[in-house]
Amino acid sequence: MQLRNIAIIAHVDHGKTTLVDKLLQQSGAFRDNQRVVERVMDSNDLERERGITILAKATSVVWKDTRINIVDTPGHADFGGEVERILNMVDGVIVLVDAAEGPMPQTKFVVGKALKVGLRPIVAVNKVDRPDARAQEVINEVFDLFAALDANDDQLDFPILYGSGRDGWMAAKPEGPSDQGLAPLFDLVLEHVPVARTEPGPFRMIGTILEANPFLGRMVTGRIISGSVKPNQSIKILHHDGKLLEQGRVSKILAFRGIERQPIEEGVAGDIVAIAGLQKGSVADTFCATEVNEAIPAQPIDPPTVTVSFIVNDSPLAGTEGDKVTSRVIRDRLFKEAEGNVTLKIEESEDKDSFFVSGRGELQLAILIETMRREGFEIAVSRPRVVLKKDETSGEVLEPIEEVVIDVDEEHSGVVVQKLSERRGEMAEMRPSGGNRLRLVFHAPTRGLIGYQSELMTDTRGTAIMNRLFHAYQPFKGELPGRRNGVLISNEAGEAVAYAMWNLEDRGPMMIEPGVKVYRGMIVGEHTRDNDLEVNVLKGKKLTNVRASGKDEAVRLTPPIRMTLEKALAWIQDDELLEVTPTNIRLRKRYLDPTERKRFEKSGTIAMAN
């Protein structure tokens, strides 16, 4: 059977996973009576809750006696490392673009990588049934984007389809016909994407996706470049620098058949398979026959730009809610994560009770923290900070700059421009995007964008859409304004009392509810002024035997500020930490004792500790 390997790439929320659902359905991968969940490729709980793809996954369909392996990729730039790796596995890409929004930053990021490795794209304009669709303009924007990314003549001569992934149809024109379903897309893949390329020689495969299976152990997915492999065959693993890592036997070979993986008797060149049975192989390593001595060169991965410290939780409530609290189990979990996620970098501190975790952005790090807390971990996390570099020639300090694209109503554009210029952002472009909306493009330092998303939503009444993409390392832009308000800090340990909180309402909004356990040094609210204030939230009402009319009304409290994980990470300052447990997210001062806090503030060592 002939093979085709394709990836579907697009910006977040442009409909990749929904389209894969329909491709599987119309190719007969499901039985007619089979119950299948929506967005079947989003198998992870967090992916389902947030509606985003985090991990790249493969599936396959059969169309006209040809097996098409399809790889669904993440749409968010923070998970771009997944995309960079899987482009080695495929011979063509379907670039999915929203008919109203057009090509967005993530589209640009992934398409640039795909064009660089020589893949010829198929452009599919999705959601043409939207009332604000502008299919023809979007095609012109895609062509301009390809030209700007130095596409060659073959790549610029791309075929185009229009349709709706949700309704399951594609056609050569935006108006249809829609009764042919996705057959035009399948046929175009067979016609436009070359047969899976192979090379002569013994078995060789480069690891692309790593996972742990409870029954089969470590499993590595990749595309076989040459030769074939069978169960029980003896193979070896070479590190990408050519060093021998391990020699052993393949226990099982699994291939993607629809949404399931089935064991096969032989993996042949060109196919995408998962291999089990070896303990040390990882992403970017070469799996090969014993006579091969040269590793396959791996694609370089863009460097991480944001770091947070994972610290062993030392609060008075430590160990009361989670069962994984020691530095050893945290260390093992982080290094295990780094094995399969090549964009993460883990460094251990000298005192061994904290770890520096570097990634592509706050979302990637927040997803890791959320995954760990669901597994029962308790950790304290510092404020994200950017990874700075030094220019080797001039010795100048460089910081990461991002390209920020904001779609906003015209009436709110002024406040967006003002806020981003305060954060050292420079406007690169401003143009109308239809429907009284503007598209603003800025180049802004990553430091200034930490925590800006929630502020943008407030400033624009929730109507703005912001997308970010790493642009380049540029000279340090200077100091940036921080959080303007101080915090309210609990000065006692116990359970918060409604009466005390009611009396403190004029000091600032609270972040906790009555009955919540607090401890000394824990942040319980936001101060209305710029300094920190210690307060007592445990003080109950003094009761006497005298009752005056009108004095015993029920206490009515203003609802507290709700902090999500991402919002809290961006909100805390350098001298504060986020305590994350399976059941709670608490904010606290790095030093809980007020005397110790003042001493460190005077000596200025908080910055060093961070």
Whole-number pLDDT of residue 61: 84
Whole-number pLDDT of residue 89: 82
CATH 2.40.50.250 range(s) for the chain read 487-603
- The CATH label, of 3.50.50.60, 3.30.70.240, 3.40.50.300, 2.60.40.420, for the domain at 390-475 is 3.30.70.240
Burial grade of 214 (CB within 10 A; 0-12, 13-18, 19 or more) = exposed
The more confidently predicted of residues 419 and 600 is: 419
Q: Residue 59's closest CA among 203, 281, 262?
A: 262
Whole-number pLDDT of residue 59: 81
Give the tokens for residue 398.
Answer: 């460089």
- Residues 314-352 pLDDT 10s: 899 988 888 888 989 999 989 888 876 777 888 888 877
Q: What secondary structure, in 3-state letters, does 90-159 show?
A: CCEEEEEEECCCCCCHHHHHHHHHHHHCCCEEEEEEECCCCCCCCHHHHHHHHHHHHHHCCCCHHHHCCC
| CA–CA separation, 372 and 324 (whole Å) | 9
Burial grade of 51 (CB within 10 A; 0-12, 13-18, 19 or more) = exposed
pLDDT band of residue 82 (cuts 50, 70, 90) is low
State the alpha helices, DSSP H only, in 472-571.
Answer: 498-503, 565-571
- Residues 274-298 pLDDT 10s: 898 888 877 778 899 989 888 888 7
Q: Residue 13's closest CA among 42, 51, 44, 41?
A: 51
- Kindly tell me if the per-residue pLDDT of 36 is higher than 50: no
* Sequence-ordered list of residues with C-beta below 8 angstroms from that of 218, at least 6 positions apart, any chain: 210, 212, 276, 278, 279, 281
Whole-number pLDDT of residue 407: 84
The more confidently predicted of residues 12 and 237 is: 237
Average pLDDT of the residues of the chain: 83
- Kindly tell me if the per-residue pLDDT of 38 is higher than 70: no
- Residues 135-194 pLDDT 10s: 898 899 899 888 888 888 888 889 999 988 888 888 988 887 888 888 888 899 999 988
pLDDT band of residue 31 (cuts 50, 70, 90) is low
CATH 3.40.50.300 range(s) for the chain read 2-192
- Residues 533-552 pLDDT 10s: 999 998 877 766 665 545 54
Residue whose entry in the numeric block shows the structure tokens 């709980």? 45
Residue whose entry in the numeric block shows the structure tokens 């493969």? 58
CATH 2.40.30.10 range(s) for the chain read 204-289
Residue whose entry in the numeric block shows the structure tokens 């009576």? 33
- Kindly tell me if the per-residue pLDDT of 433 is higher than 50: yes
- Kindly tell me if the per-residue pLDDT of 378 is higher than 90: yes
Span of 115-119, 276-280, 302-306, 397-401 with lowest mean pLDDT: 302-306
Residues making up the binding site for GTP: 13-18, 126-129
Residue whose entry in the numeric block shows the structure tokens 């009444």? 461
> Using alpha carbons only, how large is the chain's radius of gyration in Å?
27
SS3 (DSSP) at 319: coil
We find that the CATH architecture of domain 487-603 is Beta Barrel (2.40)
- Kindly tell me if the per-residue pLDDT of 564 is higher than 60: yes
- Kindly tell me if the per-residue pLDDT of 42 is higher than 50: no
- Residues 567-590 pLDDT 10s: 888 888 888 899 999 998 999 998
Q: What are phi and psi of 403, to 5 degrees?
A: -90, 120
Return the percent helix, strand and coil in the chain, to nearest 5: 25, 30, 45
Residues making up the binding site: 13-18, 126-129
The kind and range of the H/E element at 273 are: strand 272-276
Give the tokens for residue 383.
Answer: 């404020």
Percent of the chain with pLDDT over 90: 18
Span of 45-49, 62-66, 146-150, 310-314 with lowest mean pLDDT: 45-49
The CATH topology of domain 204-289 is Elongation Factor Tu (Ef-tu); domain 3 (2.40.30)
In DSSP terms, 580 is beta-bridged to: 379, 585
Pairing of strands 120-126, 92-98: parallel
The more confidently predicted of residues 79 and 98 is: 98
Identify the CATH number of the domain defined by range 2-192: 3.40.50.300
> Are 79 and 42 spatial neighbours (Cβ–Cβ below 8 Å)?
no
- Kindly tell me if the per-residue pLDDT of 46 is higher than 70: no
CATH 3.30.70.240 range(s) for the chain read 390-475
Give the tokens for residue 238.
Answer: 């070479």
- Kindly tell me if the per-residue pLDDT of 606 is higher than 50: no
Whole-number pLDDT of residue 56: 62
Q: Residue 249's closest CA among 274, 223, 224, 279?
A: 279
| CA–CA separation, 291 and 474 (whole Å) | 46
The kind and range of the H/E element at 62 are: strand 57-63
- Residues 439-486 pLDDT 10s: 889 999 988 888 787 788 888 887 888 877 788 888 988 888 777 788
Whole-number pLDDT of residue 50: 55
* Sequence-ordered list of residues with C-beta below 8 angstroms from that of 220, at least 6 positions apart, any chain: 207, 208, 209, 210, 274, 275, 278, 281, 282, 283, 285, 287
> Are 147 and 112 spatial neighbours (Cβ–Cβ below 8 Å)?
no
Query: For 10-16, what is the mean pLDDT?
Result: 72
- Kindly tell me if the per-residue pLDDT of 530 is higher than 50: yes
* Sequence-ordered list of residues with C-beta below 8 angstroms from that of 116, at least 6 positions apart, any chain: none
